[in-house]
A = this chain, B = another copy of it.
Amino acid sequence: MEKVVLAEKFAAFSDLWSPKLVGEVNDFHVKVAKLKGEFVWHHHEHEDELFLVVKGHLRIRLKERDIALDEGEFFIVPRGVEHMPIADEECHVLLLEPKSTLNTGNVRSGRTVSEVQSL
């Protein structure tokens, strides 16, 4: 039962597109991730997913438009909605999603992280 210093967590890893577990709130996971480049198109059948930008800029590409997020801004991707995160430069995000959430949703790819590492 300790506090979490986000800056310390981000300093503790460098791999991209690999969310790290930093907290559990009932059946939810709090994760941090470093993103750069384009991810894969996917959706989550049952889970909404919150992206909060802690550092940098993130675009969440939806089928009909892009959501552009700066530091201190978040977007909740509703379940079932196709999305692809894109970061032109390295971006640090806090993710909030049900424990059941797989990072690539309905898609299995080289980007899929089946076992999330705890920090």
User: Which of A12-20, A35-43, A69-77, A109-117 has 4 or more CB atoms under 8 Å from chain B?
Assistant: A69-77
Interface residue count on the A side (C-beta < 8 Å): 34
Q: Are A78 and B1 in contact (CB under 8 A)?
A: yes
Q: Are B28 and A75 in contact (CB under 8 A)?
A: no
Contact with B along A48-59 (1 / 0, CB 8 A): 111000100000
Interface SS of chain A: strand
Report Cα–Cα, A6/B69, bound state, in Å. 11
Q: Are A6 and B50 in contact (CB under 8 A)?
A: no
Within 8 A of B (CB), among A65-86: 67-69, 72-76, 78-79, 81
State whether A69 and B28 are in contact (beta carbons under 8 Å apart), knowing that A23-B50, A50-B23, A76-B23 are contacts in the complex.
no
